[in-house]
Amino acid sequence: MEILRQLHAQLLGAYRAQKWEDADTLLGKCRSLDIAALATYYDVFSARIANLRAETPPANWDGAYAMTEK
């Protein structure tokens, strides 16, 4: 599915650039494609974005995210 691949690449770009609003918008567009197999994956991204908004990562952030719970 080409549109998903393009949207997901844009989502990752916005996420890594710390453009949280853009990442949220793109996340919504990815979700709107309603691919059940990716629902949990996008739930994880949504939670990460919310956490990173609350606690801005350092200037040298490389996109890595440390999980704090299982």
- 9-68 tens-digit pLDDT: 999 999 999 999 999 999 999 888 888 888 898 999 899 899 888 888 888 877 777 766
Classify residue 66: in a domain, yes or no. no
Q: 61 lies in a domain?
A: no
- Whether residue 31 is contained in a domain is answered as yes
| pLDDT of 55 | 85
Q: Give domain status of residue 42, yes or no.
A: yes
pTM: 0.81
Rounded CA-CA distance 47/50 in Å is 5
In a domain, 17, yes or no: yes
Query: Does 16 fall in a domain?
Result: yes
Distance between CA atoms of residues 4 and 34, nearest Å: 10
Residue 19 sits in which domain range?
2-54
Q: What's the total number of domains in the chain?
A: 1
**CA dihedral (49, 54, 60, 61) positive or negative:** negative
